[in-house]
Structure 1
Amino acid sequence: MVKKKPLQRQASPVPEDSNQLNAEAAHLVEALRQLMLKLYADHLSDDGKTVDYKAMRNSEAFESYCELAVLLQQVDLKSLTKEEKLAFFINVYNALVIHGQIQMGTPKNVWQRYKVSLSEVQPLIHFALNCGGRGCPPIKTYTPKDIDQQLRAAGEAFLAGKDGCFVNIEKKEIHLNQIFKWYKTDFGDTDEKVVQWVLDHMTESLKKKQMKEVLESSNCKIIFLPYDWSSNSLN
């Protein structure tokens, strides 16, 4: 449900037609997701890696999104299922990062970027969250239905590309995205366990076969790739 209480003073007025959402959090979440889909379709690159912030800022869809987003502070998350919460937090995180870049500008350092925390550890969310950097996974929206399958697919797609991982078979090196170092405890408490997690979540491919061979060798070396913090702005 959407809580009936005053908005914070810095918030914009609630849209007059907000009652049409039937005071249901799930309805609000879906309405926001549909607006996000519109914004992404119009201003996101095909691979989901860059955003045309300038054009988005001047769009009517973004104005509508800002008005609707005011209601987020009134949402009662207890009324959402586990799957709805997962989709809600991922979608809102990605949307608010874009919102923040438009309203406040590009973050000047790593510490100015957002961090989200969910009640249960779900390693695959790291491949759904986009902090506004070019090294981040692509931006998408997620629905409660089959959310685990959607996250699995996002993880597989990220690991299939060079941003996620790659193998130097001659040097017996496995290169992993910095995400696996920052959130190592989510994937395993040793580098070897992290690589095993990666293998378990990759689709069958030549890269996966080579990674297995390197991991089984006696002098395997695991290297974490530099992260690209440059803005994912299209302009």
Structure 2
Amino acid sequence: MPSRLSLTLHLILASFILLVSSTVFAAPKADLWPYWQGSDEANSMPINHQLWQQTLNHYIVQQGEQTLISYHQIDQEGKWQLDRYIREMSKLNPLAYRKAEQFAYWVNLYNALTVKLIVDNYPVKSITKLGGLFSFGPWDDEVVTVNGKKLTLNDIEHRILRPIWQDKRIHYAVNCASLGCPNLQPHAFTASNSNHLLDLAAKQFINSKKGVLSTNNKTQLSSIYDWYQADFGDTTQLQQHLNQYRTTPVVLKTIDYDYDWALNEAK
């Protein structure tokens, strides 16, 4: 028979887990970090993302609707290449470039950092297993320093990308290493292809079962549309956004939300 103390500890732990799980999906609001607003629109020099493109070329696998990553195949050379890309990006001053270059810079850096987190902790079943003891994932961990500023993934997404560009398609561009997430694009973002890739990523996700699954009068949506309602708007606005990219229009009536946090790994 378990002791009264062990039962008490079990109840406390269970209550804590319930409390954490109830707040896990309270996604951060867009909260501008003013420092990162500057740019040099006269600078036409591109940022070189070739090292990141090589990583994508070597380790991305397309399986049905999913774009998966062969984490188990990333060897020492692959790790070195990924690390080198991140080091090179961290040495740049993104504020010295035009806004279009900055956008691609932040999206690629975010995605590369996410892949590195998985590689550094592999094997892992879910990115949610990373981070501190009482954390749901590593998004608040400092993972890179740019211009002397220590940054977390949440800083990049919610304090730089979302508030500066205010484009809902950003949610289809940044990848959280999970099956429920919009696919990691097999092409590095650049100033010239970003708009095309954003539209492509939106179309892929919204026409996939993990994005929108409509049956009869019931629609299952990705939890992204619940977490970031502030970006996608009310039901009417969300339906309009979805149907902008849907091959078969959807009518939103009864809505459920779902998200698969399992690792986006190619077996």
- By the TM > 0.5 criterion, same fold? yes
Secondary structure of 1:50 counterpart = strand
Render the CA deviation track for 1:9-63: whole Å, top value 9, x for unaligned: xxxxxxxxxxxxxxx9965x41xx212222222211125632122221x142431
Pair 1:179-2:228 in alignment: no
| Ranges of 4+ aligned residues in structure 1 off by more than 4 Å | 24-27
Distance 1:25 1:230 in 2: 40
Secondary structure of 2:182 counterpart = coil
Q: Normalising by the residue count of structure 1, what TM-score does the alignment of the two structures yield? A: 0.73
**Are residues 128 and 230 of structure 1, via their aligned partners in 2, closer, same or farther at CA, if it must alter by over 3 Å?**
same
Distance 2:76 2:58 in 1: 9
**Among 163, 168, 192, the residue aligned to 1:123:** 168
Counterpart of 1:234 in structure 2: which amino acid?
A
Secondary structure of 1:129 counterpart = coil
Render the CA deviation track for 1:155-194: whole Å, top value 9, x for unaligned: 011111111102112xx12221111111111111x23322
Distance 2:242 2:121 in 1: 35
Secondary structure of 2:213 counterpart = strand
2:32 match: none
Pair 1:95-2:112 in alignment: yes
**Among 65, 69, 76, the residue aligned to 1:51:** 69
Render the CA deviation track for 1:212-234: whole Å, top value 9, x for unaligned: xx44xxxx21222x211011223
Alignment of 1:204-215 (within 5 A): 205=247, 207-208=248-249, 211=250, 214-215=251-252
Distance 2:51 2:78 in 1: 7
Pair 1:62-2:66 in alignment: no
2:256 match: 223
Distance 2:199 2:266 in 1: 27
Secondary structure of 2:104 counterpart = helix
Q: Which moved more, 1:93-102 or 1:145-154?
A: 145-154
**Are residues 37 and 72 of structure 1, via their aligned partners in 2, closer, same or farther at CA, if it must alter by over 3 Å?**
closer
Cα pair 2:86 2:113 within 8 Å, conserved: no
**Among 154, 170, 180, the residue aligned to 1:135:** 180
Pair 1:233-2:249 in alignment: no
Pair 1:161-2:208 in alignment: yes
1:85 match: 102
Deviation of 1:71 after TM superposition, in Å, equals: 3.1
Counterpart of 2:241 in structure 1: which amino acid?
W
Cα pair 1:132 1:232 within 8 Å, conserved: yes
Secondary structure of 2:95 counterpart = helix
Task: Give the total of aligned pairs.
Answer: 193
**Among 109, 112, 120, the residue aligned to 2:138:** 112
Cα pair 2:232 2:238 within 8 Å, conserved: yes
Q: Which runs of 5+ in 1 are unaligned?
A: 1-23
